[in-house]
Amino acid sequence: MSTGEKYLAGAYAVLLVVVLAYVAIIALKLQRMERDLSELAELARRRREEAAA
Amino acid sequence: MLLGGGVALALLWAPEDADQGPSQRIFYIHVPVALTAYACFGWAAWKALRLLWVRDQRYDLESYVAVHLGVIFGILTLVTGSIWARVSWGVWWSWGEQQLVLFLILFLFYSAYFMLRFSLDPGPARASICAVYALFGVVLIPISFLAIRLAENFIHPVVFTRDGPQMSDSMFFTFVVCLGGMLALAAALYTNELLGKRLDARIRELREALS
């Protein structure tokens, strides 16, 4: 692999890594929101049961 | 898919530059990434203008997300540009290049947007101040874009002149596909991040209502 090809691969790798990191961060945020929503749904269910009782 | 196709065209189909060799193929990501950063900052300014015009607070979040993405694409522009400069000019950075320095100023200006935003309490006042800041920044875009044409001594290449693109048709087609792909990627990331932030705000409201 020539020097030019190494730098070329490096530039494209940087783009790939940054995009993948961004997607991974979004995926982690979505997981957190899913957890939060589950907690809130559980909280709302308990409130409804308490109100009915 | 568009970006994947563009990268495939850039690496496998576009002809190799006679002067620069394989490193010229960095052009197909470096320039689209830079133009996408400009587009994000321009979009942020448009949303900021809408906020100041109609006083609708939802534009504050839209402007913020666009600045955030613009800074990410700005980082990519600086990194890919430095890699290209190293292989073509033998240096990672040149302070004598007006376009490079102006892009760095634009990038630092929008990076400071976050310091401003997070140093103020949330509310309409913060939204207005951030909108004015985002609007000021957009003035730097045409200056940065035209700097290369105004400069007398430069080593940064000029590819798009008044006579059109200075490259073969296949190179130009590859560039357009890459630019379309990069803009589509930015639009997808913008939509996802905006949706995520809106959902996050709703969850917070719901938590407060239930607690």
Q: What is the 3-state secondary structure (H, E, C) of B22-68?
A: HHHHHHHHHHHHHHHHHHHHHHHHHHHHHHHHHCCCHHHHHHHHHHH
How many Å lie between the alpha carbon of A37 and the closest alpha carbon of chain B?
7
Single out the residue of B154, B33, B147 nearest to residue B88, CA to CA.
B154
Partners of residue B72 in chain A, C-beta under 8 Å:
18, 22
Tell me the C-alpha distance between B126 and B168, whole Å. Answer: 49
C-beta separation of B109 from B6 below 8 A: no
How far off is chain A from B22, nearest CA to CA, in Å? 6
- pLDDT over threshold 70, residue A21: yes
CA dihedral B114, B186, A14, B72 (to 10 degrees): -10
Q: Is B83 in Cβ contact with A7 (below 8 Å)?
A: yes
Instruction: Specify the pLDDT at position B150.
Output: 65
Residue in B11, B20, B83 closest to A10 by CB: B83
Choose the most confident range, by mean pLDDT, from B93-102, B111-120, B154-163: B111-120
Instruction: Give the structural domain span for A25.
Output: 19-53
Residue among B11, B189, B199 whose CB faces A33 most closely: B199
* Percentage of chain B lying above the pLDDT 90 cut: 30
Q: Is the Cβ pair B196, A14 closer than 8 Å?
A: no
In this predicted structure, the answer to whether residue B85 has a pLDDT above a threshold of 80 is yes
Angle (deg, nearest 10), helices B27-54 and B169-210: 40
Terminal Cα distance for chain B, rounded: 44
Place B33 in a pLDDT band, splitting at 50, 70 and 90: very high
Instruction: Please answer yes or no on whether B80 and A11 come within 8 Å at the CB atom.
Output: yes
How many structural domains comprise chain A? 1
Which of A1, A6, A7 would you mutate first to test chain B, the one with the most B CBs within 10 A?
A: A7
Q: Count Cβ atoms below 10 Å from residue A48 Cβ, excluding itself.
A: 10
Nearest residue in chain B measured CA to CA from A26: B193
**pLDDT higher for B55 or B19?**
B55
pTM of structure: 0.84
